[in-house]
Structure 1
Amino acid sequence: MCPYHTSPDSEPTAGASGASPAAGSASSPAGWHDARLDFSSSMSYGDYLALDQLLHAQHPRSPDHNEMLFIIQHQTSELWMKLMLHELRAARQNVIDDQLRPAFKMLTRVSRIMEQLVQAWAVLATMTPPEYSAMRPYLGQSSGFQSFQYREIEFILGNKNAAMLKPHAHHPERLAEVEAALHLPSLYDEAVRLMARRGLTIDAGRLARDPALPTEYDASVEAAWLAVYRDPAQHWELYELGEKLVDLEDAFRQWRFRHVTTVERIIGFKRGTGGTEGVNYLRRMLDVVLFPELWKLRTDL
């Protein structure tokens, strides 16, 4: 049942006298009582979701009407990224534990979240260049480049880059969190280790690689995936894992593409806030391949 339109299963009870409400009083509940509508002594919807804090977390700094859109766009994206990290960390642990069925559900959920984020760019794209220019001076050095959650998503998916720690150096707690993510094996590293545990041949050097380095193509990993894809019936769980990872990267690529397109539409090739390269950097990110062997094998099958 939709929580926004829920109503009691029956009409409110009459007053103490038991009399029905007078004709024409439907719009006035005076005298009516229904304990189910009294939340004074229990947790309400707003309490559960901490709506007082959530809905008062928007503090525009400019007088421009459109800044509210800009803030909410990025706050909601951060909330979705929080859920993505929650699911990706759990999925990685399930791969470590050889529990793939729960991991499949989690990875599917992350792909659907990315689809939500792709669609969200369409809302921000309603902001025109003059509207953004009116609020840009008020943003200071703040930049999406400084999103520690986004960086952790990149790292858990294998796009490791120690230089990306620097934007978080001003916040020691966040820096420590992102640095820890840099040094943990990625989700894909754990998938490769799982293939080795299941009897597929992976070069020892690939298994012992420094997890803080970005994922690079490895011929033994492609050979293992080819064995899986050439006989799905024998390796069904690994085959499904491979496709879940491809789904995930497919959705991530679309998210990146929609991002760069929206930024170019609003600011063109200007440098981003915080001194970032803006569109030029985002375009380079389109060429990053997270799971290279899974894409190459499609040509080699």
Structure 2
Amino acid sequence: MTTYDPSRDGAQMSFDGRMSYGDYLQIDTILNAQTLLTGAHDEMLFIIQHQTSELWMRLALHEMDAARAAIAAGEVRAAFKMLARIARIFEQLNSAWDVLRTMTPSEYTRFRDGLGQSSGFQSWQYRLIEFAVGNRNAAMLRPHAHRPDLLARLEAELARPSLYDEALRHLAREGLPVPAEVLNRDLRGPWVAHEGVQAVWEIVYRAPEQHWEAYELAEKLVDFEDYFRRWRFNHVTTVERVIGFKRGTGGTSGVQYLRRMLEVELFPELWHLRTSL
């Protein structure tokens, strides 16, 4: 049997002085970013799970920035693809918990002390996502006070309209009666469910054929939050499975803190209207 030679079909085989796959993706940098601090076998799993999650979050932020810009420019249909992609990104993030859950409590305890005070609670990208979608709490800036560059980026996010703010501004431009106090609200504050906003979304949902673009925008937001909620739930169950009710390495109450986060609604009116329709 003749051995197959890809070069005969035109495959490039020589990369001296030329860009290769590894060069373009900076694979050496990525694969040398796992510095194990203990001799525990499962520390590699823990590091890679969190590093890959941060990469997916970077992409989510890239798409979220573009989606907000598109909505603000009135190009809502262009934002639909980006919002759909963000939901799928969180589907990938959900799947990552399945891999981490293969680690048992005894395996985790072999390297947990090596984490020091580090915790996913301190992920600035996760905090940026929370701020970007409207779950804003200025107290959460403090874990980043030691990094002026990150603090400035988070502060800048608090000063700009969230994804939900941009969606509501779009509705107002389309002639829907979004309350003025909502459009002129303090952007740094957390979103608080508003009856007037729910009433506007109910107009959309009661006549989707008349407000199809707004209707589809609403469903894209719900789709994202659906996956985001699943991610939070999987986080809670993974932590409880691995460490029980111990305090988190970053000092939080662990599972109790994460369970509180399950109660947070990003776009509450879009969920509440389902009862009133």
- TM-score normalised according to structure 2 size: 0.96
2:129 match = 153
* In the alignment, structure 1 residue 179 sits paired with structure 2 residue 142: no
Question: Partners in 1 of 2:92 and 2:266 — Cα distance?
Answer: 20
When residues 261 and 97 of structure 1 are mapped into structure 2, their CA distance, relative to the original with a 3 A threshold, is: same
1:111 match = 87
1:284 match = 260
TM-superposed deviation, 1:173: 0.9
TM-superposed deviation, 1:10: 3.7
TM-superposed deviation, 1:224: 1.0
Q: Deviations over 1:110-166 (max 9, x none)?
A: 000100111100100011111111101111111111100000000111100011001
Question: Partners in 2 of 1:203 and 1:175 — Cα distance?
Answer: 32
Identify the match of residue 213 of structure 2 among 237, 250, 254.
237
1:253 match = 229
Q: Deviations over 1:91-115 (max 9, x none)?
A: 0111101101110000000000100
**Structure 2 gap ranges (5+):** none
Question: Partners in 1 of 2:86 and 2:43 — Cα distance?
Answer: 28
* In the alignment, structure 1 residue 223 sits paired with structure 2 residue 221: no
Q: Which residue identity is paired with 2:12?
A: R
TM-superposed deviation, 1:238: 0.4
TM-superposed deviation, 1:87: 0.3
Q: Counterpart of 1:234 in 2: which secondary structure?
A: coil
* In the alignment, structure 1 residue 191 sits paired with structure 2 residue 189: no
Question: Partners in 2 of 1:213 and 1:86 — Cα distance?
Answer: 23
1:163 match = 139
Q: Percent identity?
A: 63
Question: Partners in 2 of 1:8 and 1:101 — Cα distance?
Answer: 42
Q: Which residue identity is paired with 1:292?
A: P
Q: Counterpart of 2:82 in 1: which secondary structure?
A: helix
* In the alignment, structure 1 residue 297 sits paired with structure 2 residue 273: yes
Matches within 5 A, 1:1-301: 8=6, 10=8, 36-301=12-277
1:20 match = none
TM-superposed deviation, 1:233: 1.1
TM-superposed deviation, 1:181: 1.2
Quick check: 2:7–2:13 contact (8 Å CA) kept in 1?
no
CA RMSD of aligned residues (A): 1.2
**Structure with more helix by fraction:** 2
TM-superposed deviation, 1:36: 2.1
Question: Partners in 2 of 1:116 and 1:35 — Cα distance?
Answer: 32
Question: Partners in 1 of 2:180 and 2:218 — Cα distance?
Answer: 21
Question: Partners in 2 of 1:60 and 1:94 — Cα distance?
Answer: 42
Q: Counterpart of 2:63 in 1: which secondary structure?
A: helix
Quick check: 2:201–2:273 contact (8 Å CA) kept in 1?
yes
The number of equivalent residue pairs is 273
Q: Which residue identity is paired with 1:225?
A: W
**Structure 1 gap ranges (5+):** 1-6, 12-33
Question: Partners in 1 of 2:252 and 2:143 — Cα distance?
Answer: 11
TM-superposed deviation, 1:242: 0.3
Q: Counterpart of 1:274 in 2: which secondary structure?
A: coil
Q: Deviations over 1:253-283 (max 9, x none)?
A: 0000000100010011101012122111100
Larger gyration radius, structure 1 or structure 2:
1
